[in-house]
């Protein structure tokens, strides 16, 4: 058998798992009342392509409603597939926020929600302080950012992203420390760049409405600071989820790839084909190359 010459990372996102297998997604507009996310996730985690991966990167919305029973189910599936020590998970707005129409009634509610997502992450021995850096291979480091806006807790504002000065300042220091690692991949839940309408149209994407943009976009100062840090510290790739659509673009020289919701079949009628993006890191003449392929599994 030929020797494997690459390190493979699979990017999965927006699973929206639920406490019971029969439960539907909380947001009726996205993919209709999609059901069966848990079953789809189990099937995805049993696929040979996933099992051959060296690392799994999950960019948030693991759960649809943030409850700990769902987190436990997620970690059980991860453990059964032998990925407990080979995966990185960051939170999405569904893992953290209140999805009701009213804001959290008092500060304790807010703290409870933040504590709950920390518990969910800790079940899988994940980092709960952000940003974090994890070297997963001699040539590869993952960097995790929490873009969930802990200040926005209403049904209207919970999807808005935010990174904030303190995370960006620590990120700057962390990136300096890992300058020697050739491949640096940053993960966050929200898109650090929703394309302008004309660009979306040119790419064949459905244009984001003004309200949609306002409700999902990371503030401009955060987006710009993040991209500048990535340029100056040679971050090769930014992975994100949240918008539930596959996107691949280069902004200011940084490649940004957004994943479609992995548990939503690409053809809802056929109910087949779950979108996963795989990254293979190769060494070629002393240079580290990342090759990317999007596969339906
Ligand atoms: Fe999502």
Q: How confident is the model at residue 106 (pLDDT cuts 50, 70, 90)?
A: low
Where on the phi/psi map is residue 253: left (φ > 0), alpha (ψ -120 to 50), or beta? Answer: left
Which two three-digit tokens encode residue 188? 């966050």
Q: How many CA atoms lie within 13 A of 172 on its CB side?
A: 12
Confidence of residue 61 (pLDDT cuts 50, 70, 90): very high
Q: Please list, residue by residue across 22-55, b when 16 or more beta carbons sit within 10 angstroms of its beta carbon and e when fewer do.
A: ebebebeeebeebebbbebbbebbebeebeebbb
Ligand 1 mean position to 275 CA, how many Å? 14
Domain locations in the chain as residue ranges:
6-296
Task: Please state, in angstroms and rounded to a whole number, the distance separating the CA atoms of residues 178 and 275.
Answer: 31
Dihedrals phi, psi of 192, to nearest 5 degrees: -85, 5
Q: Can you say whether the dihedral through the CA atoms of 192, 198, 201, 207 is positive or negative?
A: positive
Give the tokens for residue 229. Answer: 């840090």
Where does the pLDDT of residue 103 fall: very low under 50, low under 70, confident under 90, or very high at 90 and above? low
Judge whether 19 and 67 are in contact, CB under 8 Å: yes
Of residues 26, 54, 55, 58, the one with CA closest to residue 41? 58
Distance in Å, CA 125 to ligand 1 centroid:
22
Average pLDDT, the chain: 86
The pLDDT value recorded for residue 236 is 84
Distances (CA, A) of 173 to 130, 141, 146, 178, 229: 13, 15, 16, 9, 10
**Calpha distance 154→172 (Å, rounded):** 31
Q: How close is the Cα of 260 to the center of ligand 1, in Å?
A: 9
Only one residue has tokens 């293979």, namely: 280
C-alpha to C-alpha distance for 104 and 171, rounded to whole angstroms: 30
Peptide bond into 131 cis (omega under 30): yes
Across residues 66-81, what is the average pLDDT? 96
Interval 224-241 mean pLDDT: 94
CA of 40 to the centre of ligand 1 (A): 15
Coil, helix or strand at residue 269: coil
State the chain's maximal CA–CA distance in angstroms: 61
Q: Are 186 and 235 in contact (CB under 8 A)?
A: yes
Higher pLDDT, 172 or 215: 172
- Mean pLDDT is lowest, of 127-131, 133-137, 193-197, for 193-197
CA of 64 to the centre of ligand 1 (A): 8
Provide the CATH number for the domain formed by 6-296 in this structure: 3.60.21.10
Report the pLDDT averaged over residues 131-139.
96
- Per-residue model confidence (pLDDT) at position 105: 53
Tell me how crowded residue 166 is: count the other CB atoms within 10 A of its CB: 10
Q: For residue 63, how far is its CA from the centre of ligand 1 (angstroms)?
A: 9
Those residues whose beta carbon sits under 5 angstroms from the ion ligand 1 are: 14, 61
């Amino acid at each position: 058998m030929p020797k494997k010459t690459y390190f493979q990372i699979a990017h999965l996102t927006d699973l929206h798992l639920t406490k019971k297998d029969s439960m539907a997604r909380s947001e009726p507009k996205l993919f209709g009342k999609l059901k069966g996310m848990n079953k789809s996730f189990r099937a995805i985690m049993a696929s040979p392509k996933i099992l051959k991966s060296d690392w799994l990167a999950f960019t948030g919305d693991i759960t649809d409603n943030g409850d700990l029973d769902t987190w436990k189910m997620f970690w059980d599936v991860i453990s059964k597939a032998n990925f407990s020590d080979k995966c990185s998970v960051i939170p999405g707005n569904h893992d953290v926020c209140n999805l009701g129409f009213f804001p959290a009634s008092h500060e304790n509610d807010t703290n409870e929600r933040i504590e709950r997502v920390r518990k969910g992450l800790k079940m899988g021995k994940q980092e709960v302080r952000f940003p974090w850096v994890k070297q997963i291979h001699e040539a590869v480091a993952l960097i995790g950012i929490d873009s969930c806006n802990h200040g926005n807790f209403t049904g209207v504002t919970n999807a808005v992203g935010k990174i904030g000065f303190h995370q960006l300042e620590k990120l700057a220091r962390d990136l300096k420390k890992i300058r020697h690692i050739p491949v640096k991949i940053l993960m966050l839940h929200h898109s650090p760049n929703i394309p302008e309408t004309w660009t979306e149209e040119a790419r064949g994407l459905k244009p984001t409405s003004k309200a949609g943009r306002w409700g999902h976009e990371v503030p401009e100062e955060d987006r710009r600071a993040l991209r500048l840090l990535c340029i100056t510290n040679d971050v090769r790739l930014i992975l994100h989820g949240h918008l539930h659509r596959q996107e691949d673009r280069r902004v200011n020289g940084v490649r940004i790839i957004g994943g479609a919701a992995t548990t939503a079949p690409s053809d809802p009628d056929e109910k087949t084909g779950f979108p996963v993006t795989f990254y293979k890191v190769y060494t070629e003449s002393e240079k580290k190359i990342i090759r990317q392929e999007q596969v339906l599994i």
